[in-house]
Amino acid sequence: MDLKLNGKVAVITGAASAKGIGNAVARSLAGEGAMIVVSDIIEEGIQTLAADLQTGDIRTLAIRADQSKLSDVELAIETVIAEFGRLDILVNCAALTNNYGTVARMAPEKWEREIGINLNGAFYWIQQALSIMKDNKWGRIINISSVAGNFGTTGLPCYAVTKGAIHTLTKQVARENANSGITCNCLVLGIIATEIYERSGIDQATVDRLVEHIPMKRMGQPAEVASMATFLCSEQASYVTGAVMPVDGAFSISV
Ligand SMILES: NC(=O)c1ccc[n+]([C@@H]2O[C@H](COP(=O)([O-])OP(=O)(O)OC[C@H]3O[C@@H](n4cnc5c(N)ncnc54)[C@H](O)[C@@H]3O)[C@@H](O)[C@H]2O)c1
């Protein structure tokens, strides 16, 4: 199937980790011929990825941005337009995932910081991207979320709240742009084998317990998320918008 992604310009946020989902999405879209812009607050990983994906046909760019700052996102979008003259696809992967215990114990400044990255950051990227996609009457926005957004989760109170809000943001953006060639969808992930758990301070016993609850009895792989994201970015997914779609080995229907 030709996904008709050749020459499209895709921005993927949160792509610094070599084992992360953003990295896998960037590789998958590049494999379909898209031009790739990777962004993250960590510079090193995105520079390596951009260099790795650059070939004769595929042009790439790495842009460091702290997405909790509107000015960083505005500058990033200006750079994309200066370099490529267009923006067709936005995959919102970046998020902060830290173990902050409970709502009762979470420091307000940490709450605000996490809302700033996970929710405000996604909003900034979407708003900036829409301003360009609307002129082109074509766009694909994919938000990467979590089953934590459906029913909360142990140790990640603000993360769960931001992911729930991302589900609603997805539907809102889909409704508002349904008539303009722009789709907005959300992938709701279960447990995917990246470094997020080590980084977030969730211990291995908790991860093992979660995996035990997954009917497929295994973690998902970043490539299994990337293939679904890539399809939703394609022309063939033109009638899919506002979907909040599990990619979770049936985790969300087992609890
Ligand atoms: N791995 C899983 O099991 C899982 C499950 C559910 C949802 N998710 C979601 O998938 C996405 C990717 O996660 P991942 O597992 O690849 O982990 P990851 O930690 O590799 O990816 C998150 C990225 O976001 C970046 N980031 C953090 N703060 C930022 C900021 N202020 N500005 C810009 N970038 C910033 C990080 O540097 C990191 O590279 C996240 O949205 C995460 O919530 C992952």
Work out the mean pLDDT of the chain and round it to a whole number: 96
Nearest ligand 1 atom to alpha carbon 24: 16
d(CA 243, CA 246): 9
* CATH class of the structural domain 9-253: alpha beta
CA 251 to centroid of ligand 1, rounded, Å: 20
Q: Where are the domains of the chain?
A: 9-253
CA 179 to centroid of ligand 1, rounded, Å: 31
CA 10 to centroid of ligand 1, rounded, Å: 18
Give the long-range contacts of residues 72-77, CB within 8 A, separation 24 or more: 73/121, 73/124, 73/125, 73/128, 74/124, 74/128, 76/11, 76/39, 76/128, 77/128, 77/129, 77/132
| Window from 20-34, 205-219, 232-246 with minimum mean pLDDT | 205-219
pLDDT at 246 over 70: yes
pLDDT at 183 over 80: yes
So which residues are the catalytic ones? 159
Q: So what's the pLDDT on residue 134?
A: 97
- Region 191-203: mean pLDDT is 87
Residue to mutate, 144, 214, 245, 252, ligand 1, most ligand atoms under 8 Å from C-beta: 144
- Region 170-184: mean pLDDT is 98
Q: So what's the pLDDT on residue 224?
A: 98
pLDDT at 63 over 90: yes
Q: What is the 3-state secondary structure (H, E, C) of 143-193?
A: EEEECHHHHCCCECHHHHHHHHHHHHHHHHHHHHHCCCCEEEEEEEECCEC
Q: How confident is the model at residue 201 (pLDDT cuts 50, 70, 90)?
A: confident
d(CA 136, CA 156): 38
202 within ligand 1 shell (Cβ under 6 A): no
CA 124 to centroid of ligand 1, rounded, Å: 17
103 within ligand 1 shell (Cβ under 6 A): no
Nearest ligand 1 atom to alpha carbon 23: 16
pLDDT in tens, 116-164: 999 999 999 999 999 999 999 999 999 999 999 999 998 999 999 999 9
pLDDT at 255 over 80: no
Q: How confident is the model at residue 109 (pLDDT cuts 50, 70, 90)?
A: very high
pLDDT at 20 over 70: yes
